[in-house]
Structure 1
Amino acid sequence: MELTEASQIEDSQISALVDFLMSRADAIGVLLARRYREEIVEYRSLPEGFIEQDVAPTARHNLETMLLGLGDNFTVTNEHLDTFRESAVRRFRQGVPIQALLHAYRLWGHTVWDQVQMAPQVAEYPQGALRIAGKIMQHVDYVSAAVTEAYLDEASGMIHDREKGRRDFLEALIAGNQPGRIATHAKHFNLKVDSSYFVVLVRRRPGRQNASISMRLCLETVQKSISGTQAKVGLVGTRDEEVVVIVESIKGTPLGAREQLDLLASLLPEFSVTVGRLRKGLQTVAQGYVDAQNATSFAVLNKIPRAYLFSDTLLDQIARTSPFRHDLAGDTTDLIAAYDAKRGSDLLATIRAYIDCGFKLVQTAEILKVQPNTVKYRLNRIGQITGHDPFQVQGMTLFTLALRIPPDLDSA
């Protein structure tokens, strides 16, 4: 009998406490809004009046739902949690991080508990506060789990949609034949259709598929490395074993970003880094991609980790694609190679070293470990054999181009 009477007293006190808190629901909602603004930086950045019009009503509804849950015939269901899930989605879209959102719900629990302790019913019957305290903690955990799930689901969906849009945009740019799609995507990614762009292509070197640097790490390195006063990353994405970067030129040409690009190449030794020409307008990105792609074969052959601009490989492009390459080789390097084979000389190595050294006799001699006069004698001999003087601009141009023709080009 005494237990029944005590239980009735407790239920009566709890009911009175619930009524007291319900009567103060609006005031508690306003108090919560103020505390959110004071203690959570991200909430202070929300638009003027937004906390009072959105955050405070949600906090008040949360209090009312928790108080209803104190009744014996009431259970908080998924339907009751929908309001909080919807608010979590709004917070994500407003740019509020998940940490700030969960901070708000913890602050909600502390504030409601402070209000419980101030209630006159607690002074008369302190035991009733313990039941409320347990319910507050349980409710905070329950709601926090629901809003976290909703927040992350929305984030995952948005990220997926944005990533899909990024891939579509990248493919449209590389294809270069979809002006409508390019213009539509450009607005979404804040890119100007008529700005100047160049393409950076970071491609895994052949035979390095099982290397230590993953494509994800490669992508992160690229994103951190290409930016500054000369250029900024407009769009970046992966395609199989390559990362494609569309870079907007702020001023100058890709040459202005060479230092950053060389550093990127040194950070990714398992990848080649090539750069297309600066071109006007997003419609020309496809040509910039081809530029960078054409430079890749030359970057792959070179073991020094540095960036290769299309301009670096322009002579190679001319030598590889010229319809006169067979005539050029026949009049120069083929004659020198035949002479070396017959006489056991090193004329071809000499002319190659001379070009690599910037046409300097002393440096060439040091590399070949001979006297400068020996280098001069060999160059004169080359002129006699081919009829093209390596000390004259025309002759040196021919030799420079001929040496850039891959010997197995036509068999490849």
Structure 2
Amino acid sequence: MLQLEQAGQPVETPKHLAWLNSIAGELATATLIRLDETLPWYRNMPPVRRAAIGGVAQTGITSFISWYKDPKAQPWVAADVFGSAPRELLRSISLQETLQVIQVVVEMVEETVLKEHPDLHTAVLKYSRDLAFSAADVYARAAEARGLWDARLEALVVDSIISGETSQEISSRVAALGWQADGAVAVLLGSTPSSEDPDGVRKTARKLAADVLVGIQGRRQVVVVGLMEPTNDAEAKIYETASALEQYFGSGPLVLGPTVLSVSDASKSAKAALSALAVAATVDSPTRPTHADKLLPERALSGDPLAKQSMLDKYYTPLADSQSDLLSTLRAYLDCGRSLEATSKQLFVHANTVRYRLKRIQEIIIENPTDPRSAFMLQIALALGAISDSESGVRR
């Protein structure tokens, strides 16, 4: 039995315990009325959940009496009180709301008990302290378990994206993770840093109105970047975000996949980024990050079918479907080592005509044939186009 100090002497209190047992039901009823009067969110809850919370409050009062009877032999544990409620209740009310319920319970105990027996003040204080700490412990354990589960689910989602999964399951999984992005998405690939800092990645992304999924796969780090809201210049915004995240990757190539409309299509961006990362070492001092499409020629040479098709669609087909002299002029210009004089002689036209056609080519494909890197890319595109035409019988 709990002993109270009065005039320096411990006093047995069986009368207190009998009195507490006699008012338990009345106190529980008064507590439910107070919850309804003081907590608007409790008033607006469905009846089933109101009853569950009321059960928690009532169990809390009962636990006070049991705790008061023998605090050492039966320590009060918040999990025992919440055990009377459905599991989803812990997920439906926040820690702040739980503490509000606890505050109401403690206030009712204080008002009712101390009014009749002021000498129980110390017991009530100890009870309220243990109650608050135990409730915080319940939520801390729940948060820790949720954090571990979220980490495993995030790793699963990233693995699914990298492996090429495009099902709607990805959307549902990221929703479970609290994915907030509603705009364009792209995949960023690079080496794992010596000191991993996924929290830093998330914080930096949030400052730029983006959400991220972070995955570590051995020596490779994967970051799926998604914009919070749709924008007219999504590609530029994603590149800005990727540039800000560059500091969280290790040394070596850093590749940004093409922009896609949603996270369910992120595997397309990942596939291009993986292909580009595999050939990034062939380019001297690539920028960080490098767009995967900037490495289309190297990807095509390595056998990437997506890169081959992209080069045909972007460069070869538009020229082949335009004026017939543009494609032949580009081929002659590249074969002649990008010499205007040699090209004009081979085509039997004036050099200014060659200049005009090169300008038209640049307007159509948005690449300057006189630039060495663009010329290399177009040389590969012409070769791929010739092979495609030969295999399909088109434009022979």
TM-score under structure 2 normalisation? 0.60
Partner of 1:33: 32
Query: Is the 1:199–1:292 Cα contact (8 Å) retained in structure 2?
Result: no
Q: 1:249 to 1:19 in 2, by over 3 A?
A: closer
Query: Is the 1:277–1:291 Cα contact (8 Å) retained in structure 2?
Result: no
Distance 2:124 2:146 in 1: 32
Matched, 1:267 2:265: no
Partner of 2:270: 289
Q: Which residue of 259, 265, 278 corresponds with 2:260?
A: 278
Partner of 1:84: 81
Distance 2:170 2:355 in 1: 53
Map 1:1-400; keep pairs closer than 5 Å.
Answer: 11=12, 14-39=13-38, 43=42, 46-51=45-50, 53-71=51-69, 75-77=72-74, 82-84=79-81, 86=83, 90=87, 93-119=90-116, 122=117, 129-130=118-119, 132-176=120-164, 182=167, 186-190=171-175, 199-204=185-190, 209=193, 214-223=197-206, 225-226=208-209, 236-240=213-217, 242-245=221-224, 247=226, 256-265=233-242, 267-270=244-247, 274-278=256-260, 282=264, 285-294=266-275, 297=280, 301-302=286-287, 308=291, 313=293, 316-318=295-297, 321=300, 380=340, 383=343, 389-393=354-358, 399=369
Distance 1:103 1:260 in 2: 43
Q: 1:48 to 1:225 in 2, by over 3 A?
A: farther
* 1:176 match: secondary structure: coil
* 1:94 match: secondary structure: helix
Identity of aligned residues (%): 12
Question: What is the CA-CA distance between 1:87 and the residue it aligns to?
Answer: 5.9
Q: 1:223 to 1:92 in 2, by over 3 A?
A: farther
Q: 1:395 to 1:386 in 2, by over 3 A?
A: farther
Distance 1:319 1:8 in 2: 89
Question: Which residue type is aligned with residue 221 of structure 2?
Answer: E
Q: 1:300 to 1:115 in 2, by over 3 A?
A: farther
Query: Is the 1:92–1:155 Cα contact (8 Å) retained in structure 2?
Result: no
Distance 1:106 1:281 in 2: 43
Distance 2:64 2:83 in 1: 18
Question: What is the CA-CA distance between 1:274 and the residue it aligns to?
Answer: 2.3
* 1:154 match: secondary structure: helix
Question: What is the CA-CA distance between 1:217 and the residue it aligns to?
Answer: 0.9
Greater gyration radius: 1
Q: Which runs of 5+ in 2 are unaligned?
A: 1-6, 177-181, 312-329, 381-396
Query: Is the 1:274–1:293 Cα contact (8 Å) retained in structure 2?
Result: no
* 2:47 match: secondary structure: coil
Q: Which runs of 5+ in 1 are unaligned?
A: 1-5, 123-128, 228-232, 337-350, 352-378
Deviations 1:119-170 (A, max 9, x none): 3xx3xxxxxx22x111112122223333332322222223322331232233
Distance 1:260 1:221 in 2: 14
Question: Which residue type is aligned with residue 278 of structure 1?
Answer: V
Distance 1:88 1:217 in 2: 37
Q: 1:68 to 1:317 in 2, by over 3 A?
A: closer
Query: Is the 1:238–1:244 Cα contact (8 Å) retained in structure 2?
Result: yes
Deviations 1:166-196 (A, max 9, x none): 322331232136x7xx5556545459xxxx9
Question: Which residue type is aligned with residue 137 of structure 1?
Answer: L
Question: Which residue type is aligned with residue 102 of structure 1?
Answer: L
TM-score under structure 1 normalisation? 0.58
